[in-house]
Structure formats: C-alpha cells, structure tokens
C-alpha cells in the first residue's frame, strides 16, 4: 500500500520520489522570500513548481492528485526543505468552488486559500498558490524564532462553506513536510487522517493497510479533521515526542510515547523502525477513544519479514480483523446496559 492506502508494489517509488519526478526540470535557484529583511532567514533555497489537480471521486467525494485522473484521499504528500518555496498550480476539474490552504508555512493573502481573501478556484479555474518557508533566525534579546520545519498539512478552505467544511468532509486534504537539511529520510511514508469517525475517509474493515518490511524506516504523518477529538495509537512501536519522533543523542530525555492526541486541525509525524524489538506481524493502529475504534477507526500496519514475505499468522490476523464487529453495536449496547443498572 502507498501512503494514501492505495495498492502499490512493495518495491514501488515513495511519494517523495514521485513528487521529485513530477517537479523534474522545474527546480530553479531562488532565495527565501523576504530574505532582505533583517529578521528573515537568509539561506538560499529552491523554488519547486508542480501542478495539482482537484477532481471528483466516486461516492460524491473529491481528492487532489499530481496527474489528471490520479486524485486520491488523502492527496499527495508534499515535501520541501526549510528555505525552499513551493509554487502550486491548482487545477480545479470540478463544478465546485475550492482551494488549497496550508499549515505551517508562509504565504500572502493571494495564496491564503480562504474566501475571506478572495483566494480560491472557481469551478474549472486554474490558480497559482505560493508557499514559502524559512530557517530559524535570531531575534531580539537573544531569543530565536522558529523555522518552518515540521509535519504539517494542506486542505480545501472554500467548498460548501467559507471555511471549506464540505471539502474537508469529502476528502480534500493531504500532508505537508518541511524538513531541516540533514534530517534522516525514511524508506516508506504513510499519511493517516482521522476525519470525523473515519480514517482517510474510510471505516474498518476498509481502512488502509500500510506495509513495510521488518527493519525498514517508516515515517507516519498524522492529521486530524472533523468535529471529534481523537488519539492515535500504534501497536508495538513507540517514538520520542519530538519534531521527528527521534532522540537527538544519548542525553536527550524527551518523553517516549505510543499514543498521542489528534484533535481537529492538529498534525504530527514520527519515524519508527518496522518491527524493531517485536518482529514482523499484523499490528493495529487505531483511535484510542474506545467507542471510536469500536465503530471502525482502526487499521493494520503489516510488518512483513525482511525479505518481504508474509510472516506466520499475519494473514490469519488480517482475516480476523476483516470479520470483527466494527459497528460499535456491542460497545454501545454494553454502555446502555451498564447505565440502566
């Protein structure tokens, strides 16, 4: 599976490679916007140009894609380094008003993606959005201002309402990573979006099954949307509660976790080594608000053997998962019975 939960060869290109390929030939030297200002980052960066297509999908849903006819939920994972600029030509191949709005980066009002600033695509319209990033810089009195590095997101801000509520409900969202140069890069990347009571707009047993071979470095990008608070839990794996999910050295005593709040509008990411210390197998990921997982907010992280073969017992576990009661009826009935005593 790729990060959107779509089927892909286990040896297939990462989305990072796909993005680089899509942008090949359009990377041009550039400076961080505002670099002449005394407080702005002065590091030289690249301007990365790409085209994203917003398109209708079956079931009344919508998605973003890097090619016509290739829209997905979530949309493509976008990556740049601090100091780089991302110039996005958004093609609206729908009959709806929509846009693309980022978190965590810099942009002017024309690239806000919000109807408040008259920044959106009319049906059938093509529009360019420019997102800029910066490195950290020294401010007054010895303080430092943060750069743009982090695990962020982008989403529609115009479909259905002036806040894009319908666009978010119907799948117009995706992940955005801004890296520091020198960050450790993963072998595989997966985007997991808790959207109302769905994962990537699906409920179990149809939620994405993400795969890796034991020993591979896997990066997770977790995003929250909708109206419900959630928590993200990954079985048998843990990470440091830092920018990258990794410790910065033997004396880094950051908190280590395997469960983290994922409220609407929030995002975080981390890296793990698949199966490290626990071995291959079918491991769950799910919302740890118990009635949410009972009602279908759960999926499988399949860690294969190092050679890519299926580990013993994994297929049986997957089959059991597919036949679990994901309706929440049992949990709700039990709660009701308990409250009546």
Residues 47 and 113 in one domain: yes
Number of domains the chain contains: 2
Task: Let me know whether 206 and 174 are in one domain.
Answer: no
Q: Are residues 128 and 83 in the same domain?
A: yes
Strands of the sheet containing 259-261, edge to edge, are 209-213, 298-304, 281-287, 231-234, 259-261
Is the bond into 74 cis (omega within 30 degrees of 0)? yes
The C-alpha R_g of the chain, in whole angstroms, comes to 21
Q: Quote the mean pLDDT of the chain.
A: 87
Q: Please tell me the predicted confidence (pLDDT) of residue 32.
A: 27
165 and 289 part of one domain: no
In a domain, 200, yes or no: yes
Strands 239-240 and 256-257, by their bridges, are antiparallel
Residue 4 in any domain: the answer is no
| Pair (133, 50) in one structural domain | yes
Phi/psi for 326 (5° steps) reads -105, 20
The per-residue pLDDT for 4 is 43
State yes or no: pLDDT of 110 exceeds 60. yes
Least confident segment among 5-19, 120-134, 242-256, 281-295: 5-19
Residue 275 structural domain: 188-339
Domain check: are 235 and 313 in the same one? yes
Q: Is residue 293 part of a domain?
A: yes
5 found inside a domain: no
Q: Is residue 3 part of a domain?
A: no
**Residue 9, domain member (yes or no):** no
Predicted pLDDT at 232: 98
Over residues 209-246, the pLDDT tens digits come to 999 999 999 999 999 999 999 999 999 999 999 999 99
pLDDT tens by residue, 112-165: 999 999 999 999 999 999 999 999 999 988 899 999 999 999 999 999 999 999
Structural domain contains residue 247: yes
Is pLDDT at 64 greater than 50 in this prediction? yes
**Domain check: are 101 and 213 in the same one?**
no
Percent of the chain's residues with pLDDT above 70: 83
Residue where a domain stops, chosen among 146, 179, 212:
179
Considering the domain architecture, whether residues 220 and 149 belong to the same structural domain is answered as no
The pLDDT value given to residue 2: 41
Q: What angle do CA 106, 108, 30 make, to 5 degrees?
A: 60
Among the candidates 179, 201, 226, a domain finishes at 179
Q: How many CA atoms lie within 13 A of 88 on its CB side?
A: 32
Q: Closest Cα to residue 215, out of 143, 118, 308, 124?
A: 308
User: Same domain for 156 and 264?
Assistant: no
Domain CATH code at residue 285 = 2.60.40.420
Which residues, including other chains, have CB under 8 Å from residue 37's CB and lie 6 or more apart? none
Same structural domain for residues 127 and 210? no
Query: Higher model confidence: residue 336 or residue 268?
Result: 268
């Amino acid at each position: 599976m790729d990060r959107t939960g779509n089927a892909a060869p286990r040896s297939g290109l990462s989305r990072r490679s796909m993005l680089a390929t899509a942008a090949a030939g359009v990377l041009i030297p550039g400076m961080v916007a505002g670099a002449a200002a005394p407080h702005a980052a002065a590091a030289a960066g690249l301007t990365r140009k790409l085209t994203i297509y917003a398109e209708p999908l079956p079931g009344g849903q919508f998605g973003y894609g890097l090619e016509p006819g290739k829209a997905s939920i979530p949309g493509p994972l976008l990556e740049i380094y601090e100091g780089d600029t991302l110039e996005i030509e958004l093609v609206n191949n729908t009959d709806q008003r929509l846009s693309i709005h980022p978190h965590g980066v810099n942009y002017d009002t024309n690239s806000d993606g919000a109807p408040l600033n008259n920044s959106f695509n009319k049906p059938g319209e093509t529009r360019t959005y420019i997102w800029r990033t910066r490195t950290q810089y020294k401010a007054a009195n010895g303080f430092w201002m943060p750069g743009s590095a982090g695990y962020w997101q982008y989403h529609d801000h115009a479909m259905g309402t002036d806040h894009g509520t319908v666009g978010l409900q119907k799948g117009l969202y995706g992940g955005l990573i801004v890296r520091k140069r020198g960050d450790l890069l993963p072998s595989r990347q997966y985007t997991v979006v808790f959207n109302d009571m769905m994962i990537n707009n699906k409920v179990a047993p149809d939620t994405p099954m993400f795969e890796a071979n034991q020993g591979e470095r896997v990066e997770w990008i977790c995003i929250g949307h909708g109206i419900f608070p959630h928590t993200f839990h990954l079985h048998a794996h843990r990470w440091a509660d830092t920018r990258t999910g990794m410790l910065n050295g033997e004396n880094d005593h950051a908190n280590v976790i395997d469960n983290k709040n994922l409220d609407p509008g929030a995002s975080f990411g981390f890296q793990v080594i698949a199966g490290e210390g626990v071995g291959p197998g079918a491991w769950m990921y799910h919302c740890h608000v118990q009635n949410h997982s009972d009602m279908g907010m759960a999926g499988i992280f399949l860690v294969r053997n190092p050679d890519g073969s299926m580990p013993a017992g994994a297929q049986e576990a997957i089959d059991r998962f597919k036949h679990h009661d994901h309706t929440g009826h049992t949990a709700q009935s039990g709660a009701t019975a308990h409250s009546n005593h």
